[in-house]
Chains A and B, each alone.
Chain A
Amino acid sequence: MPDADNNKMTIIATKGSFDWAFPPFIIASTGVAMSKEVTIFFTFYGINLLLKDTSKLRVSPMGNPNMPMKMPFGPKWLQKIDFGPKIPNILWNIPFADTLVTYLMKKTMARQGVAKLEDLRSMCQEFDVKFIACEMTVGLFGYDKEDFIDGVEFAGAATYFEEAASGNHHLYM
């Protein structure tokens, strides 16, 4: 068994919505900047984060009652209003609500200088973050390996454990 090594960290990424796509890539790329060797194991909805086409990832206001919702444009007084708690959650059960809210979130992020998802992901690859996609989930959701970006390794839970054995910093997201 390999010795525990302070410089290795692993992340299990399980969520595939637009908002939750950010934390694994932010923490992983920063981890490398902080001298860690990082592996991300993507499983269940998390494998969506490795698709070539991430344009279909959405953030949903449904069942997300604490999501702050402020306009990314318009007069200052309007931008200060948080519509999140003012709109009954059930009203978000309308067509294209996710599309609208995702569009607004992308606008807000661009205005605030938050990195684009694809840029963070390619930064991780440039920094040699190892991406492992759960083989079982790929089959379960009916994806082909060609749907995913280059440089992804396909393997199972046991491979995750082998990766994790040599580290001491493990996060579940």
Chain B
Amino acid sequence: MADETLDASGLNCPLPILKTKKALSKMDAGKILDVISTDVGSIKDIEAFCNQTGNKLISTEEDGGKYVFTIERV
């Protein structure tokens, strides 16, 4: 179960990444953030973001054009 949820639906690149970065920076290490996005580019970009920043991408789920990324804050 996520500690925080960020709804970035309807937003285009790079907003989902920028908002994810902002949301994570307000959270403590070990907390879980769910990011909801409708931007198909987020699939690769959230993964790249996590690889680069060390945050852990726990799962990616798709549900009818909505993507839910579960990220653990490091």
Contacts and interface: CB of A to CB of B under 8 A. Distances in A.
B18 A29 contact: yes
Interface size class of B (residues with CB under 8 A): 10 to 19
Interface in B31-63: 39, 48-49, 52-53
A30 interface: yes
A128 B73 CA distance: 21
A87 interface: no
Contacts of A112: 12
B17 interface: yes
A34 B11 contact: no
Describe B's contact surface by its main secondary structure: helix
A30 B17 contact: yes
Contacts of B13: 26
List 7 A-B pairs, minimum CB-CB distance, nearest first: A33-B21, A113-B12, A30-B14, A113-B11, A113-B10, A34-B52, A114-B12
Interface of A: 26, 29-30, 32-35, 112-115, 123, 127
6 contacts: A26-B13, A29-B18, A33-B14, A35-B53, A113-B15, A115-B12
Given A33-B53, A115-B15, 11 more contacts: A30-B14, A33-B20, A33-B21, A34-B48, A34-B49, A34-B53, A35-B53, A113-B12, A113-B39, A115-B12, A123-B18
